[in-house]
Amino acid sequence: MKKPKWLEKEKLYSIMFESDVPMGRVFDLVLIVAISLSIIISFIETIPELARTFKLTLEVLEYLLTFFFTLEYIARVYCSPRPKDYVLSFFGIIDLLAIMPPYLSYFFPNARYMILLRSFRFIRIFRIFKLFNYINEGHLLLRSLRKSFTKITVYFLFVLILVTCLGTLMFMIETGRPGTAFTDLGTSVYWAIVTMTTVGYGDITPVTPIGRLLSAFVMLLGYTIIAVPTGIVTANIIDDTKTAEQTNGEEKHCPQCDAEVRETDHFCPNCGTKLS
């Protein structure tokens, strides 16, 4: 018996992995609606009143969505030219993690909230709306972060030493005072981190004039040094952008659709093909 056309591997592959074809775009939109619904259900289940009122409806929807996602995963493995490559790929791992929580919840009840991992599948929206330019810009940001990694690491260690010293100094000033919250070094260093990062929970405050003076100094110091990592990364982004503009004069074309691409692009802005 001949298989229906939509069950043929090539046709099924174009629907499930490509958004250039009409059916592929429709499938991806349906998939994103299903993912959104699944996440909304997870939030509703954490609200006792709504969970009790719509218990049966939520359970039925969850079973249907789990069945849909499981069937989708099996279909992707089935139609993939290299199933092993798909299973071990980024999307393959995310797809597998997305269907595991409902099954794990039979053995570990709290595992059902891992269903929020399905939100990672929204990354597929890049394929639907062809936002490959954003992917290229993402590579620019990652490249800049890699270049900045050593400088930021040194900066982080410096800040770590600084908050440890400031926390110790505050502990020496405040310890033994009536009503003080600085009862140990760990708490004092925690206060220094919260204050220097300008978060300021206000759960720990100094009671002595000298302690308050030091606290004001740490707040001002936090505003001064918190912008340093941003400046380091921004400088690298500017350098990479200038390099891209300088090399943009050389024409380069996508091997798939022949669209013009930049030298620094990792994916074609037109069709999304990975560039060498």
- pLDDT on residue 69: 85
- pLDDT on residue 135: 56
**Which DSSP category does 255 fall into?**
T
CA-CA-CA-CA dihedral for 236, 241, 246, 250, to nearest 10: 130
CB under 8 Å to 164, separation ≥6 — which residues?
189, 192
Give me the residues of the chain with pLDDT under 70, please: 1-7, 18-20, 109-141, 233, 236-237, 240-253, 256-276
Cβ atoms of residues 267 and 275 within 8 Å: yes
Cβ atoms of residues 123 and 189 within 8 Å: no
Separation CA 176–CA 224 (nearest Å): 31
Give Dmax (Cα) for the chain.
88
Evaluate if pTM is beyond 0.75. Answer: no
- pLDDT on residue 6: 47
Cβ atoms of residues 42 and 111 within 8 Å: no
Question: How far is Cα of residue 244 from the mean position of the Cα atoms in its chain?
Answer: 26
- pLDDT on residue 20: 64
Separation CA 276–CA 269 (nearest Å): 14
- pLDDT on residue 118: 59
Q: Which residue has the tokens 């802005």?
A: 269
- pLDDT on residue 167: 92
Cβ atoms of residues 19 and 28 within 8 Å: yes
Helix (H) or strand (E) holding 254: none
Number of neighbours of residue 180 by Cβ within 10 angstroms: 19
- pLDDT on residue 80: 85
- The size of the chain, in residues, is 276
Separation CA 118–CA 55 (nearest Å): 21
Helix (H) or strand (E) holding 252: strand 252-253
Single-letter residue type at 173: I
Residue-wise pLDDT for 121-174, tens only, equals: 565 555 555 455 555 566 666 777 777 788 778 888 888 899 999 999 999 999
Question: How far is Cα of residue 270 from the mean position of the Cα atoms in its chain?
Answer: 24
Cβ atoms of residues 36 and 28 within 8 Å: no
* Whole-number Cα distances in Å, 162 to 24, 189, 196, 213: 54, 10, 10, 17
